[in-house]
């Protein structure tokens, strides 16, 4: 016999000797993993047993589950079954079963003052809350289900009379056809937790798309849906199905209905009925059980089937059947590492997982990840298989609480320790700024980066790192309750050094770069060439005379520069910024010659003459003797700074950057012209 999971199903092979056929025969038995107690029933049964163990007088309001064996056992242990709260003895605890009850029943118990063991399944209680809230808000409730079922009766009892129960899509369709078009109330639709998923889908299809305000609450319990889909899958691949559960259990009857659509099926309450079944032509037998069927009854059925077969003597291939079955119903304890399959993600971020046990596995949102910025949907999706650690087992609630975060943290801690040992550069997002530094989370491990290790200047705000992906190394590995310590600065320094080495490898005079102006001084601008700074001297910033670099560039400007000079030993780089084609003397040379008459602007006055700008960057001197056709004692008697005057270029000395210009030459020419005119 082997024991392995397939489609959430436990799988056995029985080998027995068929005396009629005189040969060993293999019978495959598969038990649906979802067979038996669901979370809600398990919880209810445990709550009653716990009260009985504490020797409390207990009365159950109706049989606590649809299973006579369990009910008999509870009665033997002192529980009474009552049909109405009026039968309660004073001080007796009243257990409300997982189906729940009407609001009026709670009110009656409160009036009597008896203690309540409220085992209403939380999924059912959610429906009570929905219908109570909706009816209080004036909505009309539509309930998919069986009106005679106690769960539906309980739901009705929270609806304040505004309800309609429908069995299937046909009844629902009729309801809407008969509903007046001006029906103004909002319609809220819920379903009995054990309602058939397929019929529910059909019902949703017949909902009118307009005219009415309809809100749909999918309240079918996932345990029921899972049990039903497991039963369908198992029946489809079996020759015969055995469905175990009370004859009055509606969910067991539904499982039987689903199974018999696919193969020959039997509905039995316990192993005693096995004799009545014809399994002679079945090589593949599937077993499932209703939500009220205890594990021991399922075990008993399987054991009895084994006994009824002529088992061959023990061989190496023969398998310990009891052990395999026990594993099916295994119990978990705190600290166990398990694999779980994600079944659903609740709106509050809680994740329901199947960990191969009867209890419901839940991972609270806070136990999913250490990274507070991540949502459950970012971390897992339905169907994922994830590693988990058990942090709490509650038999009373039938819940196993698990943590993914703690598994990840341990794996993350191992990785962080290794990264420290190997000096590996890690990458993560800065999640928050804390006192004295920032936090990043790497593989679930919190890493504190002190402000001094962020690489930011002292005066900078740490907030600018928030949300940024940063590279860092681990300085201190995480220890018990202490987070790891990391350094961004170490990495940025390393990167700078690497960039510097790369720069010096390729740097040569004349090579051009694009760089950002990082700072200005009175003698030049420092430009970042990508990890290394070079300086553009003030004289290199402009062809014109400037007093400060800020007249030409600002911090943050991106400049195209080239290397003018290099000193690798002193790690000094002189940069050029001016371009030859922008040199005003070159422009002057190309466009002007002796004899040209131009308009120039007086820019300064000295004792020996006045300087006038011919083009920007090129000034010419009007010597005092060239200002007028007479003797000039004082330059200011003829021109003032700012005057625009006509001058003639009379001398060009490009080597010494000297231009001589004259106003007098033009006056002489004018006189000549005048004389010529007079003669004329």
Which residue lies nearer to ligand SF4 by CB, 99 or 404? 99
Which residue lies nearer to ligand SF4 by CB, 219 or 439? 219
Strands (E), 162-268: 163-166, 187-191, 214-216, 240-244, 264-268
Tell which positions 102-131 bind ligand SF4, by CB under 6 A: 121, 123-124
Q: DSSP letter for 434, please.
A: E
CA 659 vs. chain centroid, Å, equals: 74
Packing angle, helices 197-205 and 222-236, rounded to 10: 110
Distance CA 277, CA 16 (A): 18
Say whether residue 39 binds ligand SF4 (CB under 6 A): yes
Q: What is the dihedral of CA 157, 163, 167, 171, to 10 degrees?
A: 170
Which residue lies nearer to ligand SF4 by CB, 45 or 650? 45
Shortest spacing between CB 74 and ligand SF4, in angstroms: 17
From candidates 60, 193, 328, 662, binder to ligand SF4 by CB under 6 A: 193
From candidates 36, 40, 100, 290, binder to ligand SF4 by CB under 6 A: 40
Which residue lies nearer to ligand SF4 by CB, 200 or 588? 200
Supply angle C-alpha 123, 366, 221, rounded to 5.
15
Residue of minimal CB distance from ligand SF4? 40
Packing angle, helices 222-236 and 250-260, rounded to 10: 30
Shortest spacing between CB 37 and ligand SF4, in angstroms: 8
Shortest spacing between CB 181 and ligand SF4, in angstroms: 36
Which residue lies nearer to ligand SF4 by CB, 358 or 420? 358
From candidates 27, 29, 31, 41, binder to ligand SF4 by CB under 6 A: 41
| Catalytically active residues, by annotation | 151
Which residue lies nearer to ligand SF4 by CB, 12 or 123? 123
From candidates 1, 10, 38, 65, binder to ligand SF4 by CB under 6 A: 38
In sequence order, the β-bridge partners of residue 30 are 11, 286
Say whether residue 444 binds ligand SF4 (CB under 6 A): no
Owner of token pair 């400060």: 548
Say whether residue 357 binds ligand SF4 (CB under 6 A): no
DSSP assignments along 592-647, one per residue? --TT-EEEEEEEEEETTEEEEEEETTEEEEEEGGGS-SS--S-GGGT--TT-EEEE
SS3 2: coil
Shortest spacing between CB 360 and ligand SF4, in angstroms: 8
Shortest spacing between CB 423 and ligand SF4, in angstroms: 52
Shortest spacing between CB 391 and ligand SF4, in angstroms: 22
From candidates 88, 258, 291, 639, binder to ligand SF4 by CB under 6 A: 291
Shortest spacing between CB 244 and ligand SF4, in angstroms: 16
Residue 71 Ramachandran class (φ > 0 left, ψ -120 to 50 alpha, else beta)? alpha
Binding mask 212-251 for ligand SF4 (x = CB under 6 A): ---------x-xx---------------------------
Binding mask 45-84 for ligand SF4 (x = CB under 6 A): ----------------------------------------
Which residues does 159 contact at the CB level (< 8 Å), separation at least 6? 131, 132, 135, 141, 143
From candidates 98, 259, 265, 370, binder to ligand SF4 by CB under 6 A: 98
3-state SS record for 154-187: HHHCCCCCCEEEECCHHHHHHHHHHCCCCCCCCE
With CA atoms as reference, report the closest residue to 368 among 376, 378, 358.
Answer: 376
Interface residues toward ligand SF4, by CB under 6 A: 38-41, 98, 121, 123-124, 193-194, 221, 223-224, 291
């Amino acid at each position: 016999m082997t024991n392995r999971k397939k489609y959430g199903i436990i799988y056995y092979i029985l080998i027995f000797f068929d005396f009629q056929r005189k040969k060993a025969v293999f019978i495959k038995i598969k038990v649906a993993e979802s067979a038996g107690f669901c979370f809600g029933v398990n919880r209810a049964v445990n709550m009653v047993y716990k009260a009985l163990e504490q020797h409390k007088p207990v009365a159950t309001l109706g049989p606590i589950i649809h299973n006579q064996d369990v009910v008999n056992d509870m009665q033997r242990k002192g529980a009474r079954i009552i049909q109405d709260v009026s039968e309660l003895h004073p001080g007796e605890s009243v257990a409300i079963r997982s189906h729940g009850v009407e609001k009026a029943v709670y009110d009656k118990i409160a009036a009597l003052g008896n203690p309540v063991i409220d085992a209403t399944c939380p999924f059912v209680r959610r429906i009570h809350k929905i219908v109570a809230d909706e009816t209080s808000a004036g909505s009309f409730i539509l309930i998919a289900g069986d009106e005679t079922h106690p769960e539906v009766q309980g739901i009705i009892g929270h609806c304040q009379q505004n309800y309609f129960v429908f069995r299937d899509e046909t009844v629902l369709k009729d309801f809407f056809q008969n509903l007046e078009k001006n029906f103004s109330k909002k319609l809220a639709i819920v379903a009995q937790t054990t309602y058939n998923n397929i019929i529910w889908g059909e019902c949703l299809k017949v909902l009118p798309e307009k005219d009415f305000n309809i809100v749909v609450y999918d309240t079918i319990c996932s345990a029921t849906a899972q049990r039903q889909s497991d039963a369908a899958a198992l029946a489809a691949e079996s020759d015969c199905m055995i469905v175990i559960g009370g004859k009055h259990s509606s969910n067991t009857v539904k499982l039987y209905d689903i199974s018999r659509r696919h193969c020959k099926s039997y509905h039995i309450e316990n192993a005693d009925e096995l004799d009545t079944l014809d399994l002679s032509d079945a090589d593949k037998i599937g077993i499932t059980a209703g939500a009220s069927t205890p594990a021991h009854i399922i075990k008993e059925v399987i054991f009895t089937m084994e006994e009824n077969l002529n088992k061959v003597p023990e061989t190496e291939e023969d398998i310990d059947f009891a052990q395999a079955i026990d594993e099916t119903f295994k119990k978990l304890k705190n600290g166990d590492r398990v694999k779980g399959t994600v079944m659903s993600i609740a709106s509050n971020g809680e994740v329901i997982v199947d960990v191969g046990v009867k209890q419901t596995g839940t991972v609270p949102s806070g136990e999913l990840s250490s990274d507070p910025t991540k949502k459950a949907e970012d971390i897992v999706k339905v169907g994922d298989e994830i590693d988990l650690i058990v942090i709490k087992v509650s038999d009373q609630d039938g819940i196993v609480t698990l943590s993914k975060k703690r598994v990840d943290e341990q794996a993350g801690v191992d990785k962080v320790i290794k990264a420290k040992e190997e000096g590996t550069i890690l990458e993560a997002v800065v999640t928050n700024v804390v006192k004295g530094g920032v936090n990043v989370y790497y593989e679930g491990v919190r890493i504190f980066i002190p402000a001094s290790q962020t690489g930011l200047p002292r005066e900078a705000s740490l907030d600018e790192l928030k949300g940024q992906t940063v590279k860092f190394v681990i300085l201190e590995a995480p220890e018990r309750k202490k987070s790891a310590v990391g350094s961004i600065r170490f990495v940025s320094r390393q990167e700078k050094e690497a960039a510097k080495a790369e720069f010096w490898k390729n740097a040569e005079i004349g090579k051009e770069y694009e760089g950002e102006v990082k700072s200005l001084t009175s003698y030049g601008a420092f430009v970042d060439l990508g990890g290394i700074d070079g300086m553009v001297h003030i004289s290199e910033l402009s062809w014109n005379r400037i007093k400060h670099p800020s007249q030409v560039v600002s911090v943050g400007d991106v400049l195209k520069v080239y290397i003018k000079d290099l000193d690798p030993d002193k790690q000094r780089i002189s940069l050029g910024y001016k371009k030859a084609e922008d040199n005003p003397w070159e422009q002057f040379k190309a466009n002007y010659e002796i004899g040209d008459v131009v308009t120039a602007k007086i820019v300064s006055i000295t004792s020996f003459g006045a300087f006038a700008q011919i083009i920007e960057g090129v000034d010419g001197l009007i010597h005092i003797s060239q200002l007028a056709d007479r003797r000039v004692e004082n330059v200011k008697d003829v021109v003032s700074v700012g005057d625009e005057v006509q001058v003639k270029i009379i001398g060009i000395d490009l080597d010494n950057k000297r231009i001589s210009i004259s106003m007098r030459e033009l006056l002489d020419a004018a006189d000549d012209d005048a004389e010529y005119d007079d003669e004329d």
